[in-house]
Amino acid sequence: DGGITQSPKYLFRKEGQNVTLSCEQNLNHDAMYWYRQDPGQGLRLIYYSQIVNDFQKGDIAEGYSVSREKKESFPLTVTSAQKNPTAFYLCASSMWGRASGANVLTFGAGSRLTVL
Amino acid sequence: RKEVEQDPGPFNVPEGATVAFNCTYSNSASQSFFWYRQDCRKEPKLLMSVYSSGNEDGRFTAQLNRASQYISLLIRDSKLSDSATYLCVVKFNTGNQFYFGTGTSLTVIP
């Protein structure tokens, strides 16, 4: 079955450490996204990518970095510069442009990061 | 002003009740509209897209009012399994970004 796989599901990190969250999709989607969700808040966009080797900052990109070397993969690194990294991180993908289904976001199961 | 705003609730309704959620959006150039459902500590999942003429899927009815810039979701004959957070999502014509409301919490009580 096609879908999005995020790993790890749970992650604990000490302050000052970088951590990388994995996101892999086999939906052949062009666009991929990273969101952050905090309790009682909506999803906030961190980064998104429309094509390989290209990505754009979202609303809260500071302290995060991404890469898009393959269409299927869009890893997110939470750096030590991120002041409050404890959150639920969601990766999503969609088709790009005006193709049927381009407007629908599909999510992975999420990664829950806790900084100790 | 936030791009998408929802009443966070919570809405606590008895089984069998009808409940309606509204969501307003700020950008009149918005292109696409959706309702997602999110269970506790899980990822959001698409409940239904919202079309200009309104659309229905079983007990769920979605409406779009472009003039007033709001969308609505109506749930009839509520079931215990409908308990979740419902997210309003809007995609603008420019770029490929999706904007999320904070979600409306629904609890259906036996």
d(CA A91, CA A106) in angstroms, rounded, equals 9
pLDDT tens-digit series, residues A26-40: 999 999 999 999 987
pLDDT, averaged across chain A: 91
Q: Has residue A100 got a pLDDT over 70?
A: no
Whether B43 sits inside 8 A of A31 (CB atoms) is no
At residue A86, the pLDDT reads 94
Q: Do B43 and A40 touch (CB under 8 A)?
A: no
Strand partners, B89: B34, B100
Distance from CA of B14 to the nearest CA of A (A): 24
pLDDT digits (tens, 9 = 90+) for A11-65: 998 888 999 999 999 999 999 999 999 987 889 999 999 999 999 999 999 999 9
- Angle at CA A54, nearest 5°, toward A49 and A55? 45
Tens of pLDDT, residues B10-33: 999 999 999 999 999 998 777 889
In DSSP terms, which residues pair with A19 in a beta bridge? A78
Hey, what amino acid is at A48?
Y
CB-nearest partner of B97 from A45, A108, A112 = A45
A interface test, pick of B31, B37, B43, B104 with most A CB neighbours within 10 Å? B43
Contact between A35 and A21 under an 8 Å Cβ cutoff? The reply is no
Contact B80, B60 (CB under 8 A): no
Distance separating alpha carbons of residues A18 and A106, to the nearest angstrom: 27
Helices (H), B7-96: none
B59 contacts B77 by C-beta, under 8 angstroms: yes
